[in-house]
Amino acid sequence: MRAWIEKQRYIIDFTISSLLRRKVKNFGLLALYTLIVFILASTMFFTHSIKKEASLILKEAPEIIVQKLVAGRHDLFPVRDIETIRKIRGVARVEGRLWGYYFDSLVGANYTLLTPPIPDGGAETGRAATVEIEADDPLAPDASAPLFTFNGAALKPGSLIIGNGIARIRDIGKGDYLPFRAYDGMFMSLKVADALSSQSELVSADLMLITEDDFRKLFGIDRQYVTDVAVTVRNPSEVSTVASKIRQRLHDSRPIVRDEILRTYDSIFNWRGGMMIVIFSAAVLAFVIFAWDKASGLSAGERREIGILKAVGWETSDVIQMKFWEGALISLTAFFTGVILAYIHVFFTGSPVFEPALKGWSNLYPNFMLTPFINAEQLTTLFFLTVVPYTVATIVPTWRAATIDPDTAMRHTGE
Amino acid sequence: MIELVNVRKVFNAGNPSEFSALNSVNLTIAQNRVTVLKGPSGSGKTTLLSVIGCMSRPSAGRVHLNGREITSLPERFLTDIRRKTFGFIFQQPNLIKGISVLENVMLPAYPLGEKRSQLKKKAMQGLADLNIAGKSASKVEWLSGGEAQRASIVRALINDPAIIIADEPTAHLDTTLSYRFMEIIEKFKAEGKTVIITSHDPLVYEAAIVDRVVNLRDGRIEGGTA
């Protein structure tokens, strides 16, 4: 046993000295390999976290959102129809929502305007808020905080609360005024009462909370209408039944089930979706070329060295073991360095490499840090996609060289 | 004792470039003797030496080592025999560049897993015996031709083999170093080792310590069986 351990030590020592003998080549290899793992891991971390973040947010979204359609397009929802939905068996709660977009030509950004949550207070007009997450939901511990908080600042008519993205892009803060051009061309100036918490920036960077009256005044929306309706269903397995009943009773409505939204997110950010596949395939292709180059052969010097080792009494298995350690050392170092760098890149520096391509196309980027989500399955996949093929690619030509007679290996290369 | 029976070695078999390096070689080499395989270039000396030293397998025929037939042994066993029985001194020193003389000398012993301190002591002793202990930490590319040759001799002896095989050992040495080499061979003989040398250098095959000269031409032993 001691002899075996000693032998492994000798082989590992020789492998390390062998790696250091070809410093330039091996450091170049390591750098390239690390870069490929970095790109692959960054893409995986980024898309996985953003997907996870979106699903956490959507987990608390209403199970069904009902929109009214006119000529196939989204239109305002009549408040009177809320009662029709409420009467459907299985419906627990129906809430009208008021929200919309406002384009600020000064900075070229689109803001999301929303009337703030007033629990149990919107029954008369059929409007209430639905953006809070239940704090006791065991399924969403990470999302147990409200999606946005505004430190209890009171929202009075003539005032608004803005998201951090807006505060940044317009360089405004508490007490400043923000002018709006209303639907009729009149100017409305609203005073900034507060800014939303920066923790919720993914959702609230472009968000503005204004009162219902100001909202209706700004967009000219009659009190008989809301933007859409959020429906809560008692039994989750009845969601699709309730959705089809809504469609039957309100022919001009479009019920959107939460799972459909989740599926859409999933297909956008899944490995098959969009940017992910582009970056991923480019990196995988680079890796294949790199591994192929490695697999295609050994240099004359390496072949000669194998010949010498065999001639002086090394077994084929010793030589293969040495090359295995060599490949494993390089690929494990590259794998861990690449993954750690990708982790820092995505979760600590806000993925500057992917930000413009993957976060959207708005002028108003949310300045958010993704919550680190590490998926063991993804890391294992990455490991098997990189470390294993590379190590095999290193062993194959060695095995070919090591199985020929030492005499042939040495004769054909000379000194 | 080494015995070769009807040994044949063909390179590139089945190709238009097929070439027969050894043809029906029958040879017996006695223990504790210095045998020289002599012949012009291309006569098959090195090929014969590599077959004897288990570095390559014959295409046909049998090789017996101390009465044991070794031709049909699996590669692992052949390697084991090569490692423990033979010490190789090549025409070129064939040292691995980039590592020290000491590491090069210790290389054949690595697969045996010998304790490092003992192995190092043995290697240093070997280097001291050939007056190159002072170069143990030097990289091999810094050695002169003679020093490199001596380093390769120490390497050949590290596992204390019973048979020393040397392929054209004096081809790259001047006369003084060649005489020095033959003195080392004499020492091996005195220690009871069997020595097989290929050479067409008269300084080698005419040396007094040589017990037997086998003449090779066109892959055959002149005079048939030797």
Per-residue model confidence (pLDDT) at position A151: 55
Q: Which of A280-289, B48-57, B150-159, B181-190 has the lowest mean pLDDT?
A: A280-289
By Cβ distance, the residue of A7, A11, A405 closest to B55 is A405
Per-residue model confidence (pLDDT) at position A134: 39
| Cβ-defined contact of B111 to A405 (cutoff 8 Å) | no
* CATH code, B62: 3.40.50.300
Model confidence pLDDT, tens digit, residues A168-226: 888 888 889 999 999 999 899 999 988 876 655 666 778 888 988 999 999 999 999 99
Indicate whether A245 belongs to any domain: yes
Do A249 and A104 have their domain in common?
A: yes
> Beta partners for A68?
A75, A253
Q: Is B94's Cβ below 8 Å from some Cβ in A?
A: yes
Q: Is A308's Cβ below 8 Å from some Cβ in B?
A: yes
Distance, in Å, from the CA atom of A255 to the CA atom of A63, rounded to the nearest integer, reads: 10
Distance, in Å, from the CA atom of B1 to the CA atom of B30, rounded to the nearest integer, reads: 5
Do A306 and A219 have their domain in common?
A: no
Do A404 and A292 have their domain in common?
A: yes
Do A236 and A347 have their domain in common?
A: no
Model confidence pLDDT, tens digit, residues B133-158: 999 999 998 998 888 988 999 999 89
CB A39 within 8 A of CB A289: no
Q: Domain end: A238, A257, A276, which one?
A: A257
Q: How far apart are the first and last CA of chain A?
A: 37
Task: Please give the full DSSP string across A128-186, using - where no structure is assigned.
Answer: ----PPPTT-TT-GGG-S-S---TT----TTEEEE-HHHHHHHT--TT-EEEEE-TTS-
pTM, two decimals, is 0.68
Per-residue model confidence (pLDDT) at position B211: 94
Distance, in Å, from the CA atom of B123 to the CA atom of B133, rounded to the nearest integer, reads: 9
Indicate whether B111 belongs to any domain: no
Per-residue model confidence (pLDDT) at position A199: 58
Going by pLDDT thresholds of 50, 70 and 90, the confidence category of residue A406 is confident
Q: Is B113's Cβ below 8 Å from some Cβ in A?
A: yes
Do A245 and A300 have their domain in common?
A: no
Q: Is B97's Cβ below 8 Å from some Cβ in A?
A: yes
| Torsion angle defined by CA atoms of residues A374, A376, A380 and A382, in that order, rounded to the nearest 10 degrees | -20
Give the count of domains, chain A.
2
**What does pLDDT average to over chain A?**
79
Indicate whether B15 belongs to any domain: yes
Going by pLDDT thresholds of 50, 70 and 90, the confidence category of residue B69 is very high
Give the count of domains, chain B.
1
Provide the number of CB pairs (under 8 Å) joining chain A to chain B: 85
Indicate whether B106 belongs to any domain: no
Beta strands at B19-29 and B34-38: parallel, antiparallel or unpaired: unpaired
Do A38 and A66 have their domain in common?
A: no
Q: Is B140 helix (H, G, I), strand (E, B) or coil?
A: helix
Indicate whether A171 belongs to any domain: yes
Do A42 and A184 have their domain in common?
A: no
In this structure, is the dihedral angle defined by the CA atoms of residues A277, A279, A282 and A286, taken in order, positive or negative?
A: negative
Indicate whether A252 belongs to any domain: yes
Model confidence pLDDT, tens digit, residues A341-393: 999 998 888 778 776 665 555 555 555 667 777 778 888 888 888 888 888 88
Indicate whether A297 belongs to any domain: yes
Indicate whether B193 belongs to any domain: yes
- Domain range holding A333? 2-55+268-411
Indicate whether B60 belongs to any domain: yes
Which residues from chain A sit within 8 angstroms of residue B115, using beta carbons?
Answer: 6
**Among all residues of chain B, which has the CA nearest to that of A6?**
B113
Q: Chain B neighbours among A 386-415 (CB < 8 Å)?
A: 403, 405-408, 410, 414-415
Going by C-beta distance under 8 Å and a sequence separation of 6 or more, which residues neighbour residue A85? A66, A91, A94, A229, A231, A246, A249, A250
Do A235 and A306 have their domain in common?
A: no
- Domain range holding B186? 2-94+160-221
By Cβ distance, the residue of B55, B98, B115 closest to A406 is B55
CB A74 within 8 A of CB A274: no
Mean pLDDT on B189-210:
92
Going by pLDDT thresholds of 50, 70 and 90, the confidence category of residue B38 is very high
Indicate whether A263 belongs to any domain: no
Per-residue model confidence (pLDDT) at position B129: 84
Indicate whether A262 belongs to any domain: no
Do A66 and A215 have their domain in common?
A: yes
Indicate whether A144 belongs to any domain: yes
Per-residue model confidence (pLDDT) at position A331: 87
How many Cβ atoms sit within 10 Å of the Cβ of residue A333? 13
Q: Is A25's Cβ below 8 Å from some Cβ in B?
A: no
Model confidence pLDDT, tens digit, residues A117-162: 544 434 444 443 333 333 344 434 443 344 455 555 567 888 888 8
